[in-house]
């Protein structure tokens, strides 16, 4: 009796010909997989699959066909579409990339501030107002709050 998991000679030859014909594609895919592995993405995905995905096929079927899954997918797609729209503008794209690529520095500063909070006297606060980075950040925050307020007024409940 022949094992179903063993390829016959003709099938093996056909498979090898396809591999040779598509060697450039396979090498490219392997390069991408190597980069994902070096970045730890493969290990992360393997850990998620092993730790969090249930093996119960019925559960997976019910979950992926549930209203909750559909609603969450719609919300996720709406967010992705708005992010893609924001990234479509060169000005927005540059700003978002700049913030995201420097996010570690920002969070390090936040963690430092949480770990060692400073006490600021009114005089110290007044002196900080002359710092260019503080003034720029305050201007950005004021512009952000103004813009958010205008948007919230348009989309919020009407009086």
| Domain ranges within the chain, ordered by starting residue | 120-159
Lowest mean pLDDT among 7-11, 34-38, 130-134: 7-11
pLDDT band at 132 (very low <50, low <70, confident <90, very high): very high
pLDDT at residue 111 in the model: 92
pLDDT in tens, 89-126: 888 888 888 888 888 988 998 899 999 998 889 999 89
* Residue 45 buriedness (CB in 10 A; 0-12 / 13-18 / 19+): exposed
Q: Which residue has the higher pLDDT, 143 or 73?
A: 143
pLDDT in tens, 44-85: 888 877 777 767 667 777 777 888 888 888 888 888 888 777
pLDDT of 2 > 60? The answer is: no
pLDDT of 147 > 80? The answer is: yes
């Amino acid at each position: 009796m022949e094992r179903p998991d063993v390829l016959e000679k003709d099938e093996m030859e056909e498979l090898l010909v396809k591999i040779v014909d598509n060697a450039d594609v396979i090498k490219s895919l392997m390069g991408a997989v190597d980069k994902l592995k070096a970045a730890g993405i493969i290990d992360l995905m393997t850990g998620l699959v092993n730790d969090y995905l249930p093996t119960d096929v019925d559960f997976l079927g019910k979950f992926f066909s549930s209203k909750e899954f559909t609603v969450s997918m719609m919300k996720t797609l709406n967010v992705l579409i708005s992010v893609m729209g924001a990234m479509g503008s060169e000005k927005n794209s540059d700003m978002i990339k700049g913030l995201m690529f420097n996010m570690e520095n920002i969070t390090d500063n936040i963690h430092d501030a949480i770990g060692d909070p400073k006490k600021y006297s009114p005089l110290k606060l007044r002196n900080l107002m002359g710092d260019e980075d503080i003034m720029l950040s305050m201007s950005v925050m004021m512009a952000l709050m103004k813009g958010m307020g205008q948007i919230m007024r348009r989309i919020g409940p009407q009086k």
